Amino acid sequence: MVEVVKFDVWRQRDILTDIADSGSAVLSTAEGLAFIEQLHHFFAPGMIGTARSWGYDIEADEVVNLIIERLLTTSVESQRCPARYAASSETPWAYLWTCTLRWGQEMWGNRGVPIEHAETIPAPDYQDDGVHTPIDR
């Protein structure tokens, strides 16, 4: 088994800048394929665990596809380019991880609990002094 070495910060910035500037063309290069390998090795396992804790069953390829799709779509269509923002971040992979979590939430939505189970939800640990409508109303 080959060990995947995490890109250093400068290499992270380079590939993210290339994606922001060139779009999908960079992904067919050796460096682009290495980037995809980085996503599989360093992003997919954490996101799979997070998604499962949210009640979703996903695979590594879905995580990688989500990241690439979002990076490519937003870099081409908008001034708000996560690849460029991540490249300029002090810790590009951390920025990209935060984006990945947000994209997962946007894609899968938020899950609530049935109202019948509301009594088992822990109450907030602070007192709200605002005016509230009694539950029996």
pLDDT at 117: 57
What are the tokens at 93? 């992979």
What phi-psi label fits residue 51: left (phi over 0), alpha (psi between -120 and 50 degrees) or beta? alpha
pLDDT at 125: 56
CA distances from 112 to 76, 115, 118, 123 (A): 34, 9, 10, 15
Task: Name the packing angle between helices 92-108 and 9-22 (round to 10°).
Answer: 50
pLDDT at 44: 96
| Run means of pLDDT, 10 residues per run, the chain, 137 residues | 87 94 92 96 94 87 95 67 89 95 84 59 59 73
pLDDT at 2: 73
Query: Rounded distance, CA 109 to CA 112, Å?
Result: 10
Query: Rounded distance, CA 70 to CA 34, Å?
Result: 18
pLDDT at 28: 94
pLDDT at 95: 94
pLDDT at 118: 58
pLDDT at 54: 81
pLDDT at 93: 95
pLDDT at 134: 73
3-state secondary structure 85-130: HHHHCCCHHHHHHHHHHHHHHHHHCCCCCCHHHHHHCCCCCCCCCC
Query: Rounded distance, CA 93 to CA 38, Å?
Result: 10
